[in-house]
Every structure is written in structure tokens, then in C-alpha cells.
Amino acid sequence: MIRIAAVLLLLAGAFGAEQAVADDAATTSAHDFTFDMPYGDPLALKDFSGKAVLIVNTATECGFSGQLAGLQQLHETYAGRGLVVLGVPSNDFGGQEPRQDGDIAKFCEAKYGATFPLVAKTSVRGKAAHPFYRWAADTLGTAARPYWNFHKYLIGPDGRIEAWFATSTSPTSKKVTGAIEQILDGLPGS
């Protein structure tokens, strides 16, 4: 009964959420956005131009948090070929990221071996959503916006969104690794 209530709550949030609208209509690329790192330094996505970037909203207390190990596996397997795995901790879904910015990366490394970059805790939905997430929803439509933790966007070397994957899609699934490999195979020097 509790699972049914959780599913109904999730669906209510999915269908009741407001349509995200990008504030910057001129934005044409993920490379136009910057995230904050845990201690305030900026992380510009344009710094990853020419690489593939998998952007994933994470939460350490989520039932899907085991995906952090899978994201680390992607990082270890593909970083040398040009993939950047970027975690975006968020407390937007069920309050499942209770940790402070400085503690999130430490916890992820200790429990899951995660050494890929994690930005500062960031909102990914609604009016408070980070501009990247509003742009992604505007670009791809409401079906492609995060409805829970561990939603994934795959950004190509030119900054365009090449694919998105729902929470339930494992980062090490053939669907995800196939899309990553297709991009990496097209990079110079591959």
C-alpha cells in the first residue's frame, strides 16, 4: 500500500508540475550555463566543449542512490575517451539530499567510490530550477524534465542535448553506454 501511495505521489508531481520556461530564449547550447561548485567556484559547461557530458541530478538518500556506483563506473571507463560525468545533488524530490555541499562528495566517495565532479546542491524543477534545467525542459518538452532523482541528460561535444534517460534507466545500461559510445566514437582521435 505504501508503494502504491509513493507511485501516486510521484505521478501527481509529474503531471502537476509546472511547465518549465527558459528565461534565456537566446540560449542554444548547454555550454551557455554555469553551475556552482560546493565552495562557490563556478563550473562553466563551456569548459567541456569537445567532450560528452552526462549530467545527473543525484540524492544520497534516494532508493536509486546505488546508481552513484554506476556513474563512477562510467567515469572510470570513459573519462579517458572524453566523457565527463557531472553530478548535480538536489533536494527537490522527497527531501532525499539532506547533506550539506561539503559533505555530499565525501559521502559519495566513501560509500560508492564516486570521484566524478559533484556541483553544489541545486534545484532542478519548478520556478527555482537552475537555468540549465529550465532550458533542457524548454528544449525537449515536459516529458524530458526530471520527475525524480537520477534523471540523466547526455550532452554532445557541441553542447546540444543528444539524449535523456529517466531515473529508472541504469547508467551502465546498454541504452546509456551505447549513446555515450556513439558520441565518443565521433570525437577526434577516437
Active-site residue set: 62
Q: Is there a contact between 184 and 81 (Cβ–Cβ < 8 Å)?
A: yes
User: Cα-Cα-Cα-Cα dihedral of 114, 83, 156, 45, to 10°?
Assistant: 60
- 3-state helix/strand/coil string of the chain: CHHHHHHHHHHHHHHHCCCCCCCCCCCCCHHHCEEECCCCCEEEHHHHCCCEEEEEEECCCCCCCCHHHHHHHHHHHHHHHCEEEEEEECCCCCCCCCCCHHHHHHHHHHHHCCCCCECCCCCCCCCCCCHHHHHHHHHHCHHHCCCCCCCEEEECCCCCEEEEECCCCCCCCHHHHHHHHHHHHCCCCC
